[in-house]
Amino acid sequence: MEPSLITIDELTGLYNRGYANEALEQNISLAKQKGLSLAIIMIDIDRFKIINSSCGHPFGDIVIQKVGELLLKTTFKDDDLPCRYGGEELFLVILPNTSRDSAYEWAEEVRLAIKSLEIKYEQAIITLTASFGVACFPEHGETVNQIIQKADEALYKAKRDGRDQVCQCQLS
């Protein structure tokens, strides 16, 4: 599937949710055919609504852009797909042919990279944290909806357990 302007998020330059869902469907099908693993990672910028309300939406857009740039720089393989997935601050990364452990390691590296971002706002430097939920095919399901749901559950566990961490979906 070749990306077009319709499939690209205007603010970040990442793929959008529609493209992510189609690509995930195709990647699951390919993983089934070839017996490969597939990992997805949901990423949510912690306390983003506070950043937006205290610094304003234009600054919130800058924060989203910086995280998007970081995701583009940290995807390692040509077929890794960083996407802006939902709301303002929710991202999804599709990692074809990636094991559960490798996905966790990647997410932890990205978590630390986001934490080290320093974004200037007026006279201050703003730092960020993010929470991550990791789910894999086939362990956590064989449909897009099942895997997304499991990644979402892991993400909300990371949020509930204090934010700024990576949580893996529990095996069924």
| Amino acid at the residue 112 | L
Cα(38)–Cα(36) distance, integer angstroms: 7
Q: Other CB atoms closer than 10 Å to residue 120's CB: what's the count? A: 10
Q: Check if the beta carbon of residue 45 is closer than 8 Å to that of residue 63.
A: yes
Cα(94)–Cα(107) distance, integer angstroms: 12
| Amino acid at the residue 115 | K
Q: Which of 22, 69, 88, 139 is catalytic?
A: 88
Cα end-to-end span (Å), the chain:
31
Whether 108 is catalytic is: no
Q: Which residues are catalytic?
A: 88
